[in-house]
Structure formats: C-alpha cells, structure tokens
Chains A and B, each alone.
Chain A
C-alpha cells in the first residue's frame, strides 16, 4: 500500500470525522521499511464488553497506551464507528542513536514515546479497514496514546523527546457533535475515572456544551459510569496552549521534539 492509500483508509473521503485525523504519523511512514517488517500473525483482538452499556449514539475517546488504541479502533470500526487517530507525535530519528548506558537507559526505546508500534498498527490496520464499509452517519472513536505527556522512562541524554499534549482544537466542538446527533461521550482508559489533565480541557468543554460524559475502565470492565469532569488547571486560559507545551519540559535542557542533549555537551 502507498502512504496515500493508508491515509485514505483511516481518513476516507466523505466521512464526517476524516478531517480530524492527524497526518503526522502517516507523513512519517517509511513505506519501504514497513514492507520489510513481518506482518503480525494475528491482529490483537480486544473485547469490548462495556460497549453494551453504550445505549445512546456516542463519541468514544480511547486514551490507552501504544497500539492498543488502534486495536480498539479497528474493532469498533467493525461495529460502525469511524476510528480517528489523533496521534500527534513524530516517531523520531531513523538514524541510529546510541543511548548512554552509564545513565541506565540502554533498554529504553530511543524516543520518549515509542510510536513505532502505533505506526505498524496503523499500517497493518489499513488493510483491515479497507474491507469495512463505514456508514455515512458513523459516530467517531478518537484514538489517543495515553503515554503522550509522560513518555516511558527518564528523559535522559540521547533520547528523542516526542512527548505531546492533546488540545481542545484537536477535536470537534460540542456544537459539532450535537449537530451530528451525538449527545454522549465515553472515555475509555485502563483505570477509568477522570481524564488526563490535557484531555480534561476538551471533555469539560464538551460537558459545558451539553455532552454527557461517561468513563470506562478496561481493567475492570463494566458499563460506562457517568462522570463530572473536574476543572483542570488553567481552564480556558488564553495562554493555556503555551503553558501546556512549556510544561512538558521536565528535563531542563530537553523537550518535546528534539533529542535530549547529553548534559556534558556544550
């Protein structure tokens, strides 16, 4: 498959949610390299027992680590939902980068958020999606990587810091959802409960706009539980976007989107 075909499978023209699909991972797909990778023997299957509890037409927001979100999105696609990948992190350098073993990080992936499993899942999932005919009036399932803000492991020298933040502008508004006859949103996380703080900005806006929010815990699957999203810090602050992204820089010299420098450099 060409990159354009993969993207088209995930963002089919004429479907209501295609415009929101984030193109970054698709634009960074190294097709030649992907062709050389062995296809998984069987795509991971996920059980969605909680879905029986979703009785109203709902937008689903899946905030789980790595490629699990893609697997859930594909399963929901077979049930008539449109998966909308919102992964907004560059996968990182393709050049070999050696991690300084003295810092105890040799077993860590080069990138703070290893996007390659997600990239592979999108690539292989495209073939499966092409066989699914989504209804024109499908509801969306937005796919996020729950590791996006924190990454995995320490932000040590040599690692590529591709952490990111989800913004309300990454999603449609409550008005748009309601115009699509969606009055309910279901947040799917491993532990359930309140959303991550960045996502809370979006869900609180939806809640204020009249969208009822429920939460599902994959760890103890049961029917969605209604929640009231708690107001996060800096809610509706004019400078929230700036504050949020600057807040990523836990390492004093590193940061999202660049290689974290060795402290001895410079």
Chain B
C-alpha cells in the first residue's frame, strides 16, 4: 500500500493566508533578491499566500520513498546505458542512442545528481505522476519562498533547502574550480534558476559562469571555458539545458561530451535523459530480474504505449509526450477544446512512439482560500538524499506551467512518548 499506515486522513492541509501587505513584501523580495521572475502568468499570480502543511510522518514517508526511487532509477540508468533496444522504447533521440551505443566511451560522471519526484496524495495513498530526472526546476520557490513563508507561521518548519544542498554538492564536486552554467536559449524560467544558483554559489565564494555548450573546450575529457570573461579550467558543468534539446544542436557545439566521454563532472549528466523519459514505466518488465523496481512499480502510474489502450474513448487515460517538461503536452479529453483534442489525436496516431498513455488517478483535493486545490509535492533528491520540496497547487487536476507555487511546511512533531 502506498499510503503511510492505513490512514484515510488527508495528510495535507492549508493555513490561513498572510495579510496582503506581508505577502506582497515576500513576493517582491523573491522577485528582486531571489531570482523569481515569473510571478505572474496571464491573470494568475503564481505564488500562493498560504502554506500547504504536511504531517511529519508523511514527510518522512515521502523522504524515504524519494530516496528509494532515486536508488532504483540510478541502477536502471546504468542498465539502460547498455540496452539500445530499451532506449528506443523510451523514444531517446537517435543521436543520443548513438553516443551510448559506443561502449568504449563511458557515460560522463555526475556533478551533484538532482531529481525531483512529483507526489500526489490519492484515495489509495501517495503516487507520483512523474520524475523530473533531467533538469528539475523550482529551486527559488522551494528554498527562498518556503523559508520566507515559514517565518510567518509559528510551529511549522521547512522541509529542506535544496538550492543550498545543490550548491554545496557542486562545490564539492568541482573541488573549488569555477563552474560553468549552461541554459537553453529563450527560457527566462531556466535563466532565473541559474541566476539563483550563481548567486548561491557566489555567496559561498565559488565562481560560476553562464555559457553556451560551444564555449566549452574539451581536451581529453576535461572541460575548460573559452570566453572573454573567463578562460580556464572548469571544475564542473551544470547542464540546465534539456537533454533532448541539446541533441538538436550541431555536432561541433560539443554537446556529446555532456553525455559521454567527459571526466569533468556534469550535473545532471546526459544519461539522466534515460530516466527522464515519461515512457520509462514501459520498460520495467524488460529489465533483468535482479534490478529492483519495487519502488518504481509502487509509485509510478500505470503507463502504456498509446497503441495498446483505448485512449480515444476511455476517459481513464491521459496522454503526454515522452519528454513532456512542464506539463505542457498533458492532454485529457475533458480539459481540452474538441479541436485541440483532435489535434493531439492526430499527432498521437502519426507518431505514437513519442507519446504514452498514463492511467489517470484521482488527486485528493484540499480545501483552501482558493477553493478546492490539487497539490503536487515535488520532492528533490540531491546525490540520493531528500533535500526539500517544490510544491504546486492547481484548481484543476493537472499541474502545468500555470500552476501556483506554494510553500510546503511540516507540522511540528508531537511530544515523544517514552
């Protein structure tokens, strides 16, 4: 059973909203001091003025579950590196498969391996909708926003400080040598995360530089940066650049070393793309028997190739693409206009390998000042240890880029009875 014990009590609740003045102070501080630059999406203010609260026991359960999942996924990744057939099932780009097929070139080592598991509380317990294994975001909300909110709620504490853990792990990995920060063009959402990381690294005395893949110079697997503002060796590379997008860059940009052949650690290494694929559950049965997938099977939703289920007429299935990053390709018939649903349907029939059908599950709604909300609890692990939470809420049962960020705080534990 996925849920903690057998309680039917929802382990999540909300506290009253902060008054408007106090909350606006937090919001502005986030924008100006903590690199949160997308606080408004259309008509929606994307920060909730109230915290979500979880029981201490359930938080422990989520921490342990996320760490179990991480251990399994890392083992699965190491197996998948040697399995081109399974890589195809994951819809890994051909150019990436080609890199991994060359067994003589080892996968690039990890600099601070970060994952985020998106947990939802359902009538049958905790479940994840997906793992963000490649480039998980949400750090400013998970660290600064949560800490600022916690200051206003006595008796509640934060679940962690993932940006500090991430920065500390990167500094260890880099040995104090400057770090390169790569991000994809055109995405302010990504740039703000690297700006936040850079600020955190700087506060620890660690230099870091924003750059493009092609500014990296590789010699015998060691990376250095060749720019007008820094020329010299790099201790680590933060790849905040979706793996499947890197694979679209020209060969001479040097992106392949981010996947294999580097000795400079890369965080996350390109091999993370193997477990980022939302088609990952399709290969669980294809793995060797000695690979432990018990936590994955426990928490991942039932997933099929769209050709194997009746997604067109059975409302119990939702569709998403194998590399769906912010929920932007999640498609549910009743939530889409008919023309959009038809458009998705055509795409699924044309390219079924790029899609998957996932059995829908019911997230238990929580009453809040916004009405009923559907929480998504994104638990980070950094180098295998749980490190905090990026919590989002939506007023409909799907979490996408327009979801509202909230602080998840832990209820104080009761007195220990000897």
Residues of A within 8 A of B (CB): 3-4, 7-8, 13, 19-20, 22-24, 26-27, 88, 90, 93, 95-98, 158, 161, 163-165, 168-169, 171-173, 175-176, 236, 238-239, 241-242, 244-246, 248-249, 252-262, 265-266
Contacts and interface: CB of A to CB of B under 8 A. Distances in A.
A6 B45 CA distance: 21
Nearest to B181: A258
B35 interface: yes
B228 A258 contact: no
Nearest to B330: A238
A179 to B, nearest CB: 9
B229 A238 contact: no
B253 A266 contact: yes
B43 A173 contact: yes
A261 B188 contact: no
Nearest to A98: B228
Interface string B11-38: 0000000000100100010011101010
Contacts of A163: 186
B89 interface: no
A121 to B, nearest CB: 18
* Interface-centre pick from A23, A168, A173, A239 (highest chain B CB count, 10 A): A23
Given A164-B188, A245-B187, A253-B249, A261 B212 contact: yes
Interface in B343-369: 343-344
Contact of B217 (A93, A171, A265): A265
A244 B187 CA distance: 10
Contacts of A26: 31-32
B56 interface: no
B152 interface: no
Given A19-B40, A257-B191, 14 more contacts: A7-B32, A13-B24, A23-B37, A27-B32, A88-B188, A175-B43, A238-B329, A242-B328, A246-B185, A248-B185, A253-B252, A255-B212, A266-B217, A266-B254
B222 to A, nearest CB: 13
A7 B28 CA distance: 9
Contact of B183 (A3, A172, A244, A257): A257
Given A4-B32, A172-B43, A238-B340, A258 B210 contact: yes
B42 A172 contact: yes
Interface pairs A-B: 7 shortest CB-CB: A255-B185, A245-B186, A95-B229, A23-B31, A261-B214, A256-B185, A258-B212
* Interface class of chain A by DSSP: loop
B284 interface: no
Nearest to B343: A238
Contacts of B190: 257
* Interface-centre pick from B183, B186, B211 (highest chain A CB count, 10 A): B186
Contacts of B28: 4, 7-8
Interface string B38-79: 011111010000000000000000000000000000000000
Nearest to A25: B37
B273 interface: no
Interface in B209-233: 210-218, 226-230
Nearest to A13: B24
Interface string B389-402: 00000000000001
Contacts of B329: 238-239
A97 B229 contact: yes
B32 A3 contact: yes
